[in-house]
Amino acid sequence: MQIPLALQFVNLLASMLLLIVFAMLAQRRILSLINLFAWQGALLALSTFVVAYTTAQHHLYYSAALTLLLKVIVLPWLLHRLIRKLNIRWDVETLLNIPTTMLAGIALVIFSFNLAAPISQMSQGITRGLIGIALASVLLSLLMMLTRRKAVTQVVAFLSLENGLFFAATSATQGMPLVVELGIALDVLVATFIFGIFFFQIRETFDSLDITHMEKLKDD
């Protein structure tokens, strides 16, 4: 059975999405990490557009445009401006070294594909085979949150995790209702502003963005 050209293209975009998450997991420069997040958003928007065209789900066109605006333009711009004000360039303090983290990431990918196999068989969407990649992206982003100490890096990992959840929704159900997506987009934007205020408060209190310093608050 020949795979449709559109589905082959979506599979290619999904593979590139997973590779970008791996690159983010191994990245030490915060500036490069934000750029990779923007590329992840661009691939997600393009994938959503292709699914919208293939399935005739017109609300996904709005989802693709919203993703392009928010996750490729607005959020990266806000994060770039934030790290310039905080004068941050590197995040070398990880709980695990990069080779160990990558091995853990490979294990999570294998686990994700095995876990998603029965779910993919029950799904009726044309992208049902991509649920494993979506789940792997979510778990890898969660791993990045757990292995980084800098608050800015953890926020980027959180946004990447949200991208993985959005891709999972697109893969399993051809997207969520537009009202829900608008609400989530607004929540993410507001959360980014709150995180920015939080970063400045941490810097003012501890003269560092290392979240391990917050353990000192337990003794107060």
pLDDT-wise least confident of 77-91, 108-122, 180-194: 180-194
The residue-averaged pLDDT of 14-37 equals 88
pLDDT at 39: 93
Cβ(123)–Cβ(131) below 8 Å: yes
Residue 220 has pLDDT above 60, yes or no: no
Residue 114 has pLDDT above 60, yes or no: yes
Residue 188 has pLDDT above 50, yes or no: yes
CA 28/CA 70 separation, integer angstroms: 24
Measured in whole angstroms, the distance separating CA 123 from the mean position of its chain's CA atoms is: 23
pLDDT at 1: 46
Cβ(94)–Cβ(147) below 8 Å: yes
Residue 50 has pLDDT above 70, yes or no: yes
User: Would you call 140 exposed, middle or buried from its count of C-beta atoms within 10 A (0-12, 13-18, 19+)?
Assistant: buried
CA 185/CA 62 separation, integer angstroms: 12
